[in-house]
Amino acid sequence: MIGPGGLQLLIWMFVVFTFSRNATAVGVPAQIVRINGEKVRRYADEVDQTNVVNPTLQKIEALTRRVEELEKKLEEAENKKP
């Protein structure tokens, strides 16, 4: 193959897995997107990946609120001392 500026390009293609003759695969690495002309359903395509609840963030926020409450109670207790 001749590339830009007359450079010769050598293109290699390796098949690292096999799949059914009735399947269509695209991308690098290849993913099967159709079997017998039917679109393949994948979990990642069906789930909302942008508006996901972050349980770690929720826990950190809850702990932060709890620490703030305890600090407030401690300050109030210290102010009541004679």
**What is the separation, in whole angstroms, between the first and last Cα of the chain?**
91
Q: pLDDT band at residue 68, thresholds of 50, 70 and 90?
A: very high
Three-state SS for the chain is CECHHHCECCCCCCCCCCCCCCEEEECCCCEEEEECCEECCCHHHHCCCCCCCCHHHHHHHHHHHHHHHHHHHHHHHHHHCC
pLDDT value of residue 9 = 54
pLDDT tens digit string along 52-64?
Answer: 888 999 999 999 9
Report domain extents, the chain.
18-47, 52-82
Which of 2 and 33 is assigned the larger pLDDT? 33
Output the six-digit token pair for 76.
Answer: 């109030």
Task: Flag whether pLDDT at 79 surpasses 60.
Answer: yes
Indicate if the pLDDT at residue 37 is higher than 80: yes
